[in-house]
Structure 1
Amino acid sequence: MAPRPARKSGRPAAPPAHTTSLEEAGRFARVEDDGHVFLLVDGEEHAVGQYPDATREEALTYFVRKYDDVVSQVALLEQRVEAKAPSSDMAKTARHLRTQVGERTMVGDVLALEARIDALLEAVSGLEKTERAALDELKARELAAREAIVVEAEELAGRDPATVQWKASSTRMNELFELWKAAQKNGPRLGKGTEDALWKRFRSSRTVFDRHRRAYFSQLDTDNAEAKQSKEALIKRAEQLSDSTDWGHTAAAYRQLMDEWKASKRASRKDDDALWARFRAAQDRFFEARKADNEAIDEEYSVNLTAKEALLVEAQKILPVRDLAAAKKALQSVRDRWDEAGKVPRADMGRIDAGLRRVEDAVKSADDEHWQKTNPETKARTTSALSQLEATIAQLKEDLAAAEGAGNSSKIATAKEALAAREQWLEMLQRSAQDFS
């Protein structure tokens, strides 16, 4: 016997939306006076249940409402399938509804409803296949993304620790870890075996990376300590020299210290800057003292500079050299007084010395030229060459006359060519010989 639903004011509750009319339901049911209801399916009767103490219409309405309730649920599932909503539990719900209809405890066109449910189950199956394909594609993309994370982590871990930019690389490794956690939390599951294998590789890469990073910075700390100790020793030597007044020797020593400083390893940035400031302070103290001493000396030598500038003006009047003997005598006089004038300021030494050197070079050049002209050996060689060349020319003239007398054009041409060349040489030697006269 079916339970009797609660009623208000002695009337059955309003039928749900999309209800089956009693006239239509009457085609599929038979109701007895005592409230028993029978479902007619292909000419066969199925006892649906009893609705006692009610009219025939009320009894029929009760069991039609159960049918309409299933119809509403089927319609809702059909809408979800049409909208391609997630298929989770759809098939289970549809099979449950199919079971309900198959129990024949409701009144309506159960065969048509069963056909709709069967079509719905087939549609849900297709939707599930589509979702599985989409999920498989999503998993493939997720697997590729996880694999890319692992490969990049392995690449970071496999780098030579001496070449790694640790700040940037550490930041990137942390970013990869955050990407991994986000994928683990929000991405599709890839299967325990796959995820465990990828995580093992990723975790191993992070472990190796962290070990290399710790070893690198541990060695860096050691190197920084050694560099600091080495530079402390250089600073001590620099500070010991800072009060020296042996300007030349100490300046050379500071240059050597600077070379050693440049060749030494760097300490940490903070330490290295502080060490350099101390080293530079020791140098500055020495070089500032040397500068002050040089300035004092330069001031003392300024009087000597005035005297040498006057001597330089006097020396420049010797040029151009017209009388070599007078020029040499005048230059010697300037030289004697030049040494007596003493030293000049360091900044003017090059200019002053270069000015006198130009005059000395000019006088020496004039002296060398005069010697070349009056050299007895050179004169004798020139005279001998002239005599030989004149004899050769005389012989060539005789050869030319003989060739012309014989009418031998080939010998004439050869003799003329040789004669022209010797006469040209003769002219050059004669000009040179004039310089010895």
Structure 2
Amino acid sequence: MRPAQPAPVARGAAPPAEPSPVATASENPSRWGRVDAEGAVYVRTAEGERRVGSWQAGAPDEGLAHFARRFDDLLAETELLVARLATGGGDPKHALTSAKALRDGLDEAAVVGDLDGLRKRLDELVGMAEDAVAAARSARDEQRHAAIARKEALVSEAETMAAESTQWKQAGDRYKAILDEWRTIKGIDRKTDEALWKRFSRAREAFNRRRGSHFADLDRQRAGAKARKEELVAEAEALAESDDWGPTAARYRDLMAEWKAAGRAQKDADDALWHRFRGAQDAFFSRRSAAFAERDSEFAANAEAKRALLDEAEKIDTTDPDAARIALRGIQERWEQIGKVPREDMRPLEQRLRAVEEAVREAADRQWRRSDPEAEARVAQFRDRVAQFEAQAEKARASGDTRRAEQAESQAAQWREWLETAEQSVQDR
């Protein structure tokens, strides 16, 4: 495993040394530990052996590999912290806390691997994290000074517009943009921030007063807004009975955007037009919700049918793998014919079906291991079946029969998995 790059450090500080790589334990678990005759598992360190657990579930090598994988998990967690520090993608304080916790737990860790190397690695990681924490503190100070300077520049711009600008829309949009940016600027002490905010608020209020006086002369534009909204209401009411759900819903969204862009009419007229517009919109979406509810009911019925099919599938007798495979294929074909189910049911149902398929595959594996003399013939047979179903799928796809093509592809995939298992069985004999 290659070591990650070191984390960035504060200006003027020497960069940390390149962290020492630590070997994974899974490649050679016996190098780092052993399992005695009673199943006790030991890890070797510079201070001697330490018992980390016991293994009674299988061969000693399997037990040693199990504890080695647990060591590799600790190593992977360490490497992840190193990588995050190196890329600046993690919180240095969190990395420091995590590194110390990992290091403190090594004395009691039930793992087999290079604990001495990992401890050294964690020591180096702690040093990297401490440097990163210091760098982050320095960066916050720099950020504060930059934030103050930026807000001062925004205040100066706002004050200039308040005194001079007659570009009402552009200046108004700019005030909004300044406010949006203002809210994103963090890290300033409260006293300074409040003083800058008062200056900005006064400038914005002065601009708004001048703009309000100007637009007081533009009331005649409200008549145009009323005419436009009447057109939008007429179209909304015409769409209320539409069954073209997707395009109509999209058009209602466009109408809403156009409504907002049309401007405001006199309040009484605007309120009346809005009431009509919203009533037409609500009528359409209520009808769409009812249609979707009916569809969901159909999907729910499909889910019940698949549950019943799963009850049948889970009763398949796997003591006869060939019969089990035939039964499973029939269930898979019926499964595809049932149709869609509600989104929240998809994963649980698929998981149950995968469990049945796994049980059938395991039964087939056991049969293959018991009948090695026939393994080569079985591999050839499975290979022929894969080719047969792939040909059926290609023929169905060419004729435009998508459903039959998908069924054949599914069967080909199933036989391909069995073929791979059979080939592996032949290789492992």
Q: TM-score, normalised by structure 1?
A: 0.38
Q: TM-score, normalised by structure 2?
A: 0.39
